[in-house]
Amino acid sequence: MKDEIDNRDERVANLKGLGCSRKRVEDARFTQGKGNYVDDIKLDGMLFGDFVRSPYAHARIKSIDTAAAMEVPGVLAVLTAADLEPLGLHWMPTLAGDKQMVLADGKVLFQGQEVAFVVAEDRFAAADGIELVEVEYEELPVIVDPFESLKSDVVLREDLDPKAPGAHGPRKHPNHIFTWEAGDKAPTEEVIANAEVVATESMYYHRTHPCPLETCGCVASMDKVNGKLTLWGTFQAPHAIRTVVSLISGIEEHNIRVISPDIGGGFGNKVGAYPGYVCSVVASIVTGKPVKWIEDRMDNLMTTAFARDYHMTGKISATKEGKITALHCHVTADHGGFDACADPTKFPAGFMNICTGSYDIPTAYLEVDGVYTNKAPGGVSYRCSFRVTEAVYFIERMIEVLAIELNMDAAELRRINFIKKEQFPYKAALGWEYDSGDYHTAWDKALKAVDYDGLRAEQAQRVADFKAGKTRKLMGIGLSFFTEIVGAGPVKNCDILGLGMFDSCEIRIHPTGSAIARLGTISQGQGHATTFAQILASEIGLPADSITIEEGDTDTAPYGLGTYGSRSTPVAGAATAMAGRKIRAKAQMIAAYLLEVHDNDVEFDVDRFVVKGAPERFKTMKEIAFAAYNQAIPGLEPGLEAVSYYDPPNMTYPFGAYVCVMDIDVDTGVPDIRRFYALDDCGTRINPMIIEGQIHGGLTEALAVALGQEIAYDDMGNVKTGTLMDFFLPTAWEVPNYETDFTVTPSPHHPIGAKGVGESPHVGGVPCFSNAVQDAFRPFGNRHTNMPHDHWRIWRTANELGLHD
Ligand code: CDP
C-alpha cells in the first residue's frame, strides 16, 4: 500500500487529531431526527409503567386500595411496597450510604414521592389507573428548613435508630445525617480572632435542578427463558448501574446488559438510581414483558436529583494590605428526605473543600452538616464536580465581601492572593494538590481584554449620573476567577459504592487501517465520538474519520465509572491515549520487522514509523495494521488490539477568568448583560470548537442558576416551581453573546496534558453573573444578596437600598 500523502503538514491535517476543530460526527443523526433515545425504543408487547405520587410532603400512609385501578382496561398490575417487600426491594441503597424507599413504606417524606407503580398496556391506561388508586394519608408536620429540622421534635426518618451513627459517623439529632470536616479548626479560629481585618457573611446557594431536555427513563426487558435482563436507560454511569442492579436484584452481573443509548443531556441528573428503574425491572420480571418508564417534566423537576441547597457561613481574615490569612466555612446542607447525594464515598460534601479557591490561603477549616428535610432527595453535581460550584461561589463571594471590608478593588484583591505559577503543584490548606496553573497570566489577559480600568471609570460616571438623576440604570462589573477540580479518581481516594473511580478504553484496529474504540464513559451531548477519535488519531496515526467511538453498552464496553464531573477527558481520555500508546508499541515492533531493522531503529512520525536517519524508508500505520493480520511475525501474536484501565494519579485543575458587564434597570429589576468574557484554561485543547460549545452551554446554565432558576417550596412542602412555566430555562432571548478566550497550562500528569472543561463555565459563571448584580449595588451599600437574582429580587434589593425613594 503506497502512502499518497508525502507532505507532513497535510498528513497531520489529514488525521484531524489534537487541536483540530473537527465537526461533530454525532450531529448528522441528531440534526436529522435519527437519534435513538430511550423513548424511541419500542419492543414487541412492551408495557408502560408510571407512578402514583404523594401530594403531601410528609404523611403517614393509612391504606392503599388498588382494586378500582385494576379494573381499568389495559391495566395489568399495580405494585406497592407490600409487593416489593418479600423481594427485599421496597427500599434501595443510595449512593451516599443511606437507603431510600422505592415505593412508600408506611409514610412519605416529600411531595411527589413514589407510592405505587401502575403497569398497563400503554401510558394512557397507566395514567387512568393512577387516577383510581385510592391512598389514604394522614398528614404529618412538614419541615422544609434544615435549621428547624435540627431543632424539631418531629423525627423524619423513623426507620433509623435516632442514636445510631450514619454512614459518615455520629449524628447529633434524629434529623441530622453527618458532620464532615476538613482543615485545622483551632489554628484557623486563632488566626481569625487575631486578624487585622475580618469579613463575615452568610449566603444561601438555593436548591435547583439539572433539568436536562430529555427526562429520566428506562426500558427493562427480562428474558425469562435465557435468564437475561436488558436495561436501556438514561444512565450517566451504565456499568455502575449494572453492578447496582445485580447487587439489589440478585441477578448475576453477566446476565445483565445495561445500554445507555443517545442521552439528551444529563448534567448530573442521570447519575443516580431511581425507583423507576427498580419498579420497571420488577414489573418486567412479574409480567414477563418489556416495561418502559419515562418521567414527565413535573416528575423530573419535583422528584429526581436536585442540586445545591447549601446554607454557607464564612469568615475570611486578611492583613490591612489585603493578604488573606485564614478562611472558615460552615455549611448546613439540606439533603431532603433521603441522603441520595452522588459523591465519592469519602466525600459526603463532595469536593466542597476546594473552597479556598485559587488563592494562597495558609490556614482554613470547613465543616459541613447534612440534614434531612421534607424535600426530594438527590444532591447531584449539576454541571460541576461534586459541590465545586458551591465552593467556588462561596469563595468568590467572600472575596467580594472582603474587598468591601478593605475598601479595595476586587480584581486587585484577587491578584494579591492568587497562588503563584511557581507554587505548583500546590498543596491547599484543605487537602487538595493542585496540579498546574498560571493564574496571574490569565487574570491580566482577561482584564486587559475587557479594558477593566475603562469599565470601572464608566461605572463611576454611571453612579454619578444616577445620583444626579440622569439615569435609572446601574452598571455592574462581575468578576470571577475559579479553579475546578475534575477527573475523579484516583482510586485510592475516590469510589462510588466501593467501585474505584478509574476509567477505560479498548481499541481494535481492523486490517484495513480503521478502528473501533470502546470506552467506559457515555456522552450526553459532549461530543465524545468526535473528540476521543481525535486523541487516538494523534496517538496511533490513523485518521479520526476512520475511528468509531462506541460507549454505553456494558456487554461490549470495558468497565468504567461513567460521565459526570467533567471526568471523561481527564480519566477516560487518558485511558484512550494510554491504550493508543500500547497499539503504537506493538506497531513499532511490526514496523521494525517489516523494515528489517531493530525496534529501536524506527521512530513514530505522524502516521508512520520511519527508519531513523532514512526518512524514505517507512511503513504507514495502515500498512502496519494490515501486516498485523497477514504476516506471521516471530515473537508477536497476530492482531492489533489494546485495552487500558487508567487510574489517574491526581485530579486535574482547570481554571478560568470571567468578566460580566451588566446594566440593571432599578425600576423594573431587569438585568441586561452587555458583555460576557470567558477565559478558560483546560490544558491541552483537543477540539477548540467543541470546547467553545461546552463553554456556551455551561455559561447559559450558569446564567439560569444565577438569575432565576430555582426549586422553591412553600411551608407545606409543595414544590412551587414544578413546571417550565415557573422553572427558568433560558432561551436565545436571555442569552448574551459570549466572548471566549483561553490560555494553555497543560496538566503535568495527564498523558496528553488535557484537563476537563465541560463544567468549568458553569462553575465560574454562576459567581460571575451574581457578582455583576451585587457589584451594581455596591456603591449604594450592598454587601450580599442571595441568588437567584430574578427581576423581583433585584427590584427588592434596589428598594431596600432606598433607590426607589
Ligand atoms: O466528562 P465530560 O465529557 O462531561 O466533560 P469533559 O471531559 O470536560 O469533555 C467535554 C467535551 O470537551 C469532550 O468532547 C471533550 O473531549 C472536550 N474537551 C476538549 O476538547 N479538550 C479538553 N481539554 C477537554 C475537553
pLDDT at 711 over 60: yes
pLDDT tens-digit map of 283-323: 999 999 999 999 999 999 999 999 999 999 999 999 999 99
CB 118 within 8 Å of CB 74? no
Q: What is the mean pLDDT of residues 387-408?
A: 98
Is 756 close to ligand 1, i.e. is its CB under 6 Å away? yes
Which domain-ending residue is among 627, 646, 665? 646
Catalogue the long-range contacts made by 591-600 (C-beta closer than 8 Å, 24 or more residues apart): 591/618, 591/619, 591/624, 593/631, 593/633, 593/634, 593/636, 594/619, 594/623, 594/624, 594/627, 594/631, 595/619
Residue 534 lies in a domain: yes
Whole-angstrom Cα distance, residue 190 to residue 161?
37
What would the grid cell of residue 196 be?
Answer: 487585622
Q: Is a pLDDT exceeding 70 seen at residue 377?
A: yes
Q: Is 505 in the pocket of ligand 1 (CB under 6 A)?
A: no
Cα of first residue to Cα of last residue in the chain, in angstroms, is 83
Q: Is 199 in the pocket of ligand 1 (CB under 6 A)?
A: no
Shortest-distance atom of ligand 1 to CA 654:
23
499 pLDDT higher than 60: yes
* 472 shares its domain with 352: yes
**Alpha-carbon span 372 to 715, nearest angstrom:** 15
The answer to whether residues 107 and 61 touch, using CB atoms and an 8 Å cutoff, is: yes
Question: What is the band of 566 on the pLDDT scale with cuts at 50, 70, 90?
Answer: confident
Number of domains in the chain: 3
Q: Which of 282, 303, 324 is the last residue before a domain boundary?
A: 303
Q: Residue 746 — pLDDT band, cuts 50, 70, 90?
A: very high
List the CATH number of the domain containing 383: 3.30.365.10
**Closest atom of ligand 1 relative to the 531 alpha carbon:** 16
pLDDT (mean) for 365-370:
98
Q: Do 365 and 479 belong to one domain?
A: yes
Residue 264's nearest CA partner among 39, 565, 593, 104 is: 39
- Which candidate, 294, 274, 215, places its Cα nearest to that of 524? 215
Residue 5 has pLDDT above 60, yes or no: no
Residue 169 falls inside a structural domain: no
525 and 598, same domain (yes or no): yes
Q: Which domain holds residue 613?
A: 8-35+503-646
pLDDT digits (tens, 9 = 90+) for 142-157: 999 999 999 999 999 9
Q: What is the pLDDT of residues 82-125, one digit of tens each?
A: 999 999 999 999 999 999 999 999 999 999 999 999 999 999 99
Same domain membership, residue 370 and residue 276: no
| Same domain as 448, residue 384 | yes
Residue 512 has pLDDT above 60, yes or no: yes
Residue 282 lies in a domain: yes
Report if residue 185 sits inside a domain: no
* For residues 743-770, average pLDDT: 97
Are 434 and 234 within 8 A, CB to CB? no
DSSP letters for 9-51: HHHHHHHT-TT--PPPTTHHHHHTT---BGGG---TT-EEEEE
| pLDDT score recorded for residue 497 | 85
Average pLDDT, the chain: 97
Q: Is the pLDDT of residue 507 over 70?
A: yes
**Residue from 326, 398, 321, 328 nearest 362 by CA:** 326
Cβ of 22 less than 6 Å from ligand 1: no
Q: Which of 590, 625, 646 is the last residue of a domain?
A: 646
Instruction: Classify 59 as helix, strand or coil.
Output: strand
495 lies in a domain? no
Q: Is 685 in the pocket of ligand 1 (CB under 6 A)?
A: yes
Residue 671 Cα to ligand 1 midpoint, Å, equals: 31
Task: Report the length, in residues, of the chain.
Answer: 805
Tell whether 165 is covered by a domain.
no
Work out the pLDDT band at 389, boundaries 50, 70, 90: very high
Are residues 390 and 278 both part of a single domain? no
Query: Do 96 and 125 fall within a single domain?
Result: yes
Confidence of residue 1 (pLDDT cuts 50, 70, 90): very low
Both 221 and 259 in a single domain? Answer: yes
CA distances from 636 to 611, 622, 625, 640 (A): 20, 18, 13, 10
Rounded Cα distance, 248 and 241, in Å: 10
Same domain? 694 vs 775: yes
33-68 pLDDT, tens digit per residue, is 999 999 999 999 999 999 999 999 999 999 999 999
Residue 310 lies in a domain: yes
What HEC string does 216-249 produce? CEEEEEEECCCCEEEEEECCCCHHHHHHHHHHHH
pLDDT, tens digit, for every residue of 465-495?
Answer: 999 999 999 999 999 999 999 999 999 999 9
Residue 140 has pLDDT above 50, yes or no: yes
2 pLDDT above the threshold of 90: no
**Residue showing cell 422553572:** 727
Strands (E), 278-425: 291-294, 307-318, 324-336, 363-372
Q: How many angstroms separate the most distant Cα atoms in the chain?
A: 90
Q: What is the CATH number of the domain that holds 62?
A: 3.90.1170.50
Q: Residue 678 falls within a domain, yes or no?
A: yes
Q: Are residues 553 and 660 in the same domain?
A: no
- Give the closest residue to 315 by CA, choosing from 405, 389, 241: 405
Q: How far does residue 568's CA lie from ligand 1's centre (Å)?
A: 7
Closest CA to 477 of 452, 495, 506, 496: 452
- For ligand 1, atom 24, which residue shows the shortest CA distance? 756
511 with 483, same domain?
no
Catalytic residues: 236, 383-384, 759
pLDDT for 6 equals: 65
**pTM for the full predicted model:** 0.97
Sign of the Cα pseudo-torsion (324, 328, 333, 339, in order): positive
455 and 516 fall within a common domain? no
DSSP secondary structure of 243-295: HHHHHHH---GGGEEEE--B-S--TTTTSS--HHHHHHHHHHHHHSS-EEEE-
Helix and strand element counts for the chain (H, E)? 20, 32
Residue nearest to atom 12 of ligand 1 (CA): 691
